[in-house]
Amino acid sequence: MIWYPYQQMKTMRTPYEIVDAEGVYLYTKDNKLIDSVSSWWSVIHGYKHPEMNAAILEQVNRFSHVMLGGLTHEPVQRLSQKLEEFLPGDLNYCFFSDSGSVAVEVALKMALQYCMNRGDRRRTMILALEHAYHGDTFKTMEVGDDEDYHFVLRAYGPSQYVVHVPTEIEALEMAFAQYGEKLTCFLVEPLLQGAGGMRMYGSSFLKRARELCNQYGVLLIFDEVATGFGRTGHRFAADLVLPDILVLGKALTGGYIGHAVTVANRKVYEAFYDDAPDHALMHGPTFMGNALACAAALKSIQLFESQDYLSKIRRIEEITQRELADLTDPRIQEVRIMGGCACVEVKDPATLQGWQQFAYQQGVFNRPFLNYMYTMVPYIISEEELTQVLRTMKAWFTNS
Ligand SMILES: *Cc1c(COP(=O)(O)O)cnc(C)c1O
């Protein structure tokens, strides 16, 4: 029996069974649904993309997987070279893993060991944001500030190693003044905090964070598992402000196969690169650098560049602004739009009861959580399809 995610199994609604998928559409036996959340924000090129499929099939016919322990192969070499070119600054050292949570764990481990390798044993703490989400593994739950994980807090009490700050410059300066000498890193979801409620903030906060990190000798880590590859309207938030470590996942492979990467800059890499065996990074997920995932990621990045996805995303943002401009309702707290993400935050989660089923009837798959009705559409969506999604959202407020 399947144990489904984030659900009380006793009361959960039967999930929709998908039998086929193509473009932005998911097909059940008797319905056709626009996927307005891109399968947890990852399927940016849509389903059954002919070039993505061909790239994976070509690799399947050579080999699907070999481990990176003592072995290497062309797809992983080409992908790390491609990322080196594609990513800003000297973010050049790619450590692959199989999921975003693990890639964040690797980033945190790198930051701690970076300090230890340099003989700095005072630094053991992590600064993170209020409402942060960085994954579901134990350390990522500890650095996160997700309401759904407060059972961990109840079990262990507040963490001695993690401090949370709001996205306000003054609070950030105070946190650095108080903890700056003890921090290994400042970990953030830049510009857009996803699972913590689609919260959006400006790059001035990140610019100040960069200055403070330099001043206090703290590594800046961007978790761009959700924001990477255009979701905020920028290729990466790292194009605006350069972090020391960048984490990518979700859309990295166009959503075709789970994979993630933790990319370090030269300064971080050099703290590990010497003759001492105990200065090595002791990590190695079984499926890191999986050849099918690398082939998918290479093709995904190629499509992103050659098809000018940034202008597609700009178009999605314009249509969303236009369509949601007249969405007002006393039950709505705020409507937020950034790049390829839109969020309608309601005051009371009860307002969204029945919304998913309503959307299903209108040919849209959507999955709200807590107070948030949101979209993260595939970038290949047409204007007509996107309008259908957004009008369905508005119709919920006029009809319920
Ligand atoms: C989804 C997500 C993760 C976790 O990625 P998984 O592949 O689900 O482990 C980490 N950080 C952010 C910002 C995410 O959105």
Q: What is the pLDDT of residue 251?
A: 98
Instruction: Please give the structure tokens belonging to residue 306.
Output: 């050659």
Please say whether the beta carbons of 253 and 295 come within 8 A.
no
Which amino acid, one-letter code, is at 161? Y
Q: Report the chain's C-alpha Rg in angstroms.
A: 21
Sheet containing 260-264, strands listed edge to edge, beginning at the edge strand earlier in sequence: 93-97, 260-264, 245-248, 219-223, 183-188, 125-129, 162-165
pLDDT for position 69: 97
**pLDDT for res 246:** 99
pLDDT tens for the chain, 400 residues long, are 999 999 999 999 999 999 999 999 999 999 999 999 999 999 999 999 999 999 999 999 999 999 999 999 999 999 999 999 999 999 999 999 999 999 999 999 999 999 999 999 999 999 999 999 999 999 999 999 987 778 888 899 889 999 999 999 999 999 999 999 999 999 999 999 999 999 999 999 999 999 999 999 999 999 999 999 999 999 999 999 999 999 999 999 999 999 999 999 999 999 999 999 999 999 999 999 999 999 999 999 999 999 999 999 999 999 999 999 999 999 999 999 999 999 999 999 999 999 999 999 999 999 999 999 999 999 999 999 999 999 999 999 998 8
pLDDT at 355: 98
At residue 148, the pLDDT reads: 75
Residues assigned a catalytic role: 6, 133, 223, 250
Alpha-carbon gap, residue 381 to 317, rounded angstroms: 12
Query: Following DSSP, what letter does each residue of 168-222 receive, concatenated?
Result: -HHHHHHHHHHHTTTEEEEEE--SEE-TTT-EE--HHHHHHHHHHHHHHT-EEEE
Ligand 1 pocket, residue 98 CB under 6 Å = no
Say yes or no: CB of residue 196 within 6 Å of ligand 1: no
Residue of the nearest CA to atom 11 in ligand 1?
A: 134
* Residue spans of alpha helices (H) in 2-93: 38-41, 50-60, 74-86
Cβ of 134 closer than 6 Å to ligand 1, yes or no, is yes
Number of Cβ within 10 Å of residue 22's Cβ equals: 12
Question: 3-class DSSP state for residue 261?
Answer: strand
188 within 8 A of 144, measured Cβ to Cβ? no
Dihedral sign of CA atoms 359, 360, 364, 370 in order? positive
- Cα 99 from Cα 302, distance rounded (Å): 21
CB-based contact 376:355 (threshold 8 Å): no
